[in-house]
Amino acid sequence: MDDLIKYAPALLAGFLENVKLSLICGALALVLGTILVSARVAPTPVLRAAGTLYVNIVRNTPLTLVLAFSSLGLSDTIGLIFSDTPSTNSFWLVVLGLSAYTGAFVCETLRAGINTVPLGQAEAARAIGLTFLQSLRLIILPQAFRTVIAPLGSVMIAMIKNSTVAIAGGYLMESAFVMKDTFDDTGVSIPIFIGLVIAFMVVTMPVGFLTNRLASRLAVVR
């Protein structure tokens, strides 16, 4: 217990890095996922194929590989540099990798949502002369989003937990690394582990609770 109190400031700082990563990646992944799903249902075969290819590749690659690749491959070998400060640079590389990865899952979730929108809605949209983008933006996506709020919440919770893998992308300030560092110092400490687990639960449980509440409040009545 003493260990937990002694290292609490470092652990809290590490945990806040996870929260920061999650907030940025969550927003970017939602945008990317929406773009990807629009491509996957577009009238252009090229866009559909590109969207499908991206989602199938990224979704089936381990996140550890994605993040290690963005750090060792894209940054160290190819020279993609966001910032001259190493920690800021690796932060944005992790943001890049984690958003690219989560975006594929957001896309798949949204696509499942689009599949639950009844055929009549799309037909009615066409009948009043809406173009593809108009019907997607005004009719299909709003209903799809409302159907998949709860699954999107699960995707976001998975992403918050995945932010600990940032260590594979060379970002050495978030909680997984801080915990490992502390264990190197003091040996294994059960209170520290439990403390971090509770910290994660404090964030993930409200996300699950809120998205479930929103899902039932915003459910499309059919």
* Residues 159/98, Cβ–Cβ less than 8 Å: yes
Residues 53-92 within binding reach of other proteins (CB under 8 A): 56-57, 60-65, 68-69, 72-73, 76-80
Residues 110-169 within binding reach of other proteins (CB under 8 A): 111-119, 121-123, 126, 131-132, 135-136, 140, 147-148, 151, 154-155, 158, 160-165, 167-168
x/- letters, 168..207, toward other proteins (CB under 8 A)? x------xx--xx--x---xx-x--x--xx--xx--xx--
Place of tokens 């997607």: 136
Nearer to other proteins, 95 or 170 (CB): 170
Q: What is the spatial distance between Cα 138 and Cα 130, in angstroms, rounded to a whole number?
A: 9
- To the nearest whole angstrom, how small is the minimum distance from the Cβ of residue 180 to other proteins? 5
The angle at the Cα of 76, spanning 75 to 81, to the nearest 5 degrees, equals 35
CA-wise closest residue to 107 among 177, 174, 176, 53: 53
Q: What residues contact residue 190 under an 8 Å CB cut-off, 6+ apart?
A: none
Considering the rule CB under 8 A, would residue 99 count as an interface residue with other proteins? no
DSSP helix/strand/coil, 43: coil
- To the nearest whole angstrom, how small is the minimum distance from the Cβ of residue 161 to other proteins? 4
- To the nearest whole angstrom, how small is the minimum distance from the Cβ of residue 33 to other proteins? 13
Helix axes 45-59, 2-40, angle to 10 degrees: 160
- To the nearest whole angstrom, how small is the minimum distance from the Cβ of residue 221 to other proteins? 16
Considering the rule CB under 8 A, would residue 1 count as an interface residue with other proteins? no
Q: What is the spatial distance between Cα 177 and Cα 94, in angstroms, rounded to a whole number?
A: 14
Number of residues that bind other proteins (CB under 8 A): 75
- To the nearest whole angstrom, how small is the minimum distance from the Cβ of residue 145 to other proteins? 12
Nearer to other proteins, 4 or 72 (CB): 72
* Residues 175/17, Cβ–Cβ less than 8 Å: yes
